[in-house]
Amino acid sequence: MDNYMLALLQICDSSLPTGSFSHSFGLETYIQEGIVHNKESFLKWMKVYIQEQLVYTDGLACRLTYEILENERLEDIWELDQKLIAQIFAHESREGSKKIGERFLTLGNQLYQSLALSTYIKRINDSKSNGHPAIAFAMIAHCLNIPKSTAVLSYLFSTVTSLVQNAVRGIPLGQTEGQLIIKEAISMIMNSWQVIEKLTEEDFGITPPGLEISQMKHERLHIRIFMS
């Protein structure tokens, strides 16, 4: 077994204390509007989220970060950090990504110290960078010598399982239904990973307007169980 395997399982665990369980990134808006209300409707929503937003923003950013680290060009990561945050229009989702990213970085640096992680944390503390989970995940994966393709695929899977757990709480769904959704999502994740492998920097930032609007509308919901 590869030495990194157990560490990879740890950083992909949905119980990792990053705060992602508090954010639906617009899903709760669809739930309250009755658009997402069961397993089938959630799968439709998640397909769009994975194939559009996750592929062209977070997933691609994870791959680009890893490649930047391979070429030892940290300055390019700080630019990517700015682009990631700038393209999140909804205030709640923007702040949520920053908080999750910062917590992920802090935890990662406590577990696996690296110059990239500590430098990123210092830049956040100095208000020079924002923090983002896709960048944090890639940094930790690179530190652990996890292959790039495995890192990107694992990040996609980790993000999807977190969303499914939030859907189980928010819709609500049964725990078994949640696991069935993850099983059905595996083919979407694999296809999306293959797409990400072929993308260029020019493809970065494509996001469906419906998801962005739902994220902006979320802060005006009267009753909320999620922070975004």
What domains are there in the chain, each with its CATH number? 37-218 (1.10.4190.10)
pLDDT tens digits for 112-152? 989 999 999 999 999 999 999 999 999 999 999 999 999 99
Residue 41 clears pLDDT 90, i.e. is over it = yes
pTM value? 0.96
What's the rounded Cα separation, in Å, for the pair 152 and 63?
Answer: 6
Write down the pLDDT at residue 193.
Answer: 98
Residue 228 clears pLDDT 90, i.e. is over it = no
- Residue 100 · residue 20 · CB < 8 Å: yes
Question: How far is residue 122 from each of residues 15, 118, 129, 160, measured CA to CA in Å?
Answer: 26, 6, 9, 29
pLDDT tens digits for 81-91? 999 999 999 99
* Number of H-type helices and E-type strands within the chain: 11, 0
- The residue with tokens 């072929």 is 198
Looking at every residue in the chain, the average pLDDT score rounds to 95
Residue 1 clears pLDDT 80, i.e. is over it = no
- Residue 104 · residue 125 · CB < 8 Å: no
Write down the pLDDT at residue 176.
Answer: 97
pLDDT tens digits for 42-75? 999 999 999 989 999 999 999 999 999 999 999 9
Q: Say which amino acid occupies 115.
A: L
pLDDT tens digits for 172-206? 999 999 999 999 999 999 999 999 999 999 999 98
